[in-house]
Structure 1
Amino acid sequence: MNVRFTVGAMARVSQAHLDARRRQIIEAASRCFARNGFHATSMQDVLREAELSAGAVYRYFPSKDALVAAIAERAFAAIRAAYEDAASATPPPMPDELLGRVLGRVLVDTVPGADAGTFARLVVQVWTETLRNDLLGDTLREGYGAMRRVWADLVRAYREAGMLDSDVDPDDMARTLIAAAQGFIAQQALFGDVRVEGLQAGLRGLMSMRDPQAG
């Protein structure tokens, strides 16, 4: 009985170790790619950043393309989880608050130990790479579709809470709000001088506008 328990515990610890090692490699590669881009970064660069042997890294990722795909999946999963968590409140937060929560979380938490610009530059690298990598393009489309579905569900929640007119198309609104988040990330990557609070304030300003001809 004690032997079986000990073996089971060792297996669980071993899996936890394997998962932690995989995260370590992904996070090291993310920092390298954000600094120098995918094509200027070699697997040797990743090995040095992760402080691991070639065998330890290739056990998880047989190629640089496999690493890139894993990073993309991790980024999309983090963004989707942040949207789902923020949107689970009742009543749902207004779009400015929701986008602020999501971006404030993913810009800092996705690549531990790195600044907000690292994640933004990494995302732009992923977008660019999808133009030549069909597998990564499929991952991007899947992640984008999942985020649109989350936003469409949120729009329906806005309707049920009486916060939004019933004639607003959920997918149109989803695409527009995703575009706002993407634009913010692109500005952060290119210029590095944007703030999440500024995006929130700008969205609030747009949401407060009134048509003077509406009467």
Structure 2
Amino acid sequence: MARVSQEHLDARRRQILAGAARCFARNGFHGTSMQDVLKEVGLSAGAVYRYFAGKDDLIAAIADEAFQYIRHAFAEAAEISPPPTPDVLLGRVVRGVFTGQVYGLERRTCAALIVQVWAESMRNERLAKTLGEGYAGMRAGWAQLVEAYRAAGLLRADVPADDVARTMIATAQGFIAQEALFGEVEPEALENGLRGLMSIDAQRIS
């Protein structure tokens, strides 16, 4: 029997996740059955269950895919000297999510799916754990960037790293929520808004 390559296995796994994401985005988590996913991806039950035990596995994997992409973006940014400023980095991350690098979905559909994941975590302990770990990873990534900003002389030493992390994460979350609810929110608006706020001279207004 021919041995299946890891590349083939990885591609099949992503095919299943992409199909599940389309189903969830279209009908919601509770309105989607495993039969819907099988039909969407055009695979047998055995082929899908080889990778995922059920719907909860699929939801958790989709959430983890997003966090992996974001963690990678932070890690890359921290290695650049000087690191990209928050407006540039957040714009890059959000634009990457919305151009299909995570889910392969249309922008507003992608944002709506992310909001669904957040809501589902309120009742699903396993998903809550996945999101909690991803959130902790993002905070750690931002903390690393804060140290890089300080080393480059771009940030005051008295600003707690975790405060910066929470604020930047909240900014990205709010942007995604706006896109999901109202649509037509361009990543450039996020970049321009942050750039404008960063230009405020705090000494002049204190």
Give the TM-score, by structure 1 length.
Answer: 0.90
Confirm whether residue 22 of structure 1 aligns to residue 13 of structure 2: yes
- 1:60-97 Cα offsets, whole Å, 9 max, x none, are 11211111111111111112112222333110111101
Q: Percent identity?
A: 60
Shift of 1:48: 1.4
Q: Is contact 2:77-2:145 (8 Å) kept? A: no
CA distance in 1, matches of 2:72, 2:13: 20
| Compared CA separation, residues 116 and 213, structure 1 to 2 (3 A) | closer
Cross-structure match for 1:111: 103
Q: Which amino acid aligns with 2:16?
A: I
How large is the RMSD of aligned CA atoms in angstroms? Answer: 1.5
Q: Classify the secondary structure of the residue corresponding to 1:41.
A: coil
Partner of 1:56: 47
Q: Is the 8 A contact 2:74 2:145 kept in 1?
A: no
Residues 82 and 106 in structure 1, CA contact (< 8 A), matched pair in contact too: no
Query: How many angstroms apart in 2 are the aligned matches of 1:84 and 1:121?
Result: 26
User: Among 176, 180, 183, which residue is 1:189 paired with?
Assistant: 180
Structure 1 position 200 matched with structure 2 position 191: yes
Larger CA deviation: 125-134 vs 78-87: 78-87
TM-score (norm: length of structure 2): 0.93
> Paired residue for 1:3?
none
Matched AA of 1:57? V
Say how many residue pairs are matched: 204
Contact 1:87 1:98 in 2 (8 A): no
- The letter of the residue matching 1:84 is A
Q: Distance in 2 between matches of 1:172 and 1:123?
A: 23
Letter in 1 for 2:38: L
Q: Which amino acid aligns with 2:86?
A: P
Letter in 1 for 2:78: A
Looking at structure 2, the residues matched to 85 and 104 of structure 1 have their Cα atoms a distance apart, in angstroms, of 16
| CA-CA distance at 1:41 after TM superposition | 0.9
Amino acid at match of 1:81: H
Q: Deviations over 1:2-50 (max 9, x none)?
A: xxxxx9xx54x53221221111001110111112210011111111111
Task: Tell me which structure has the larger Cα radius of gyration.
Answer: 1
Unmatched 5+ stretches in structure 2: none
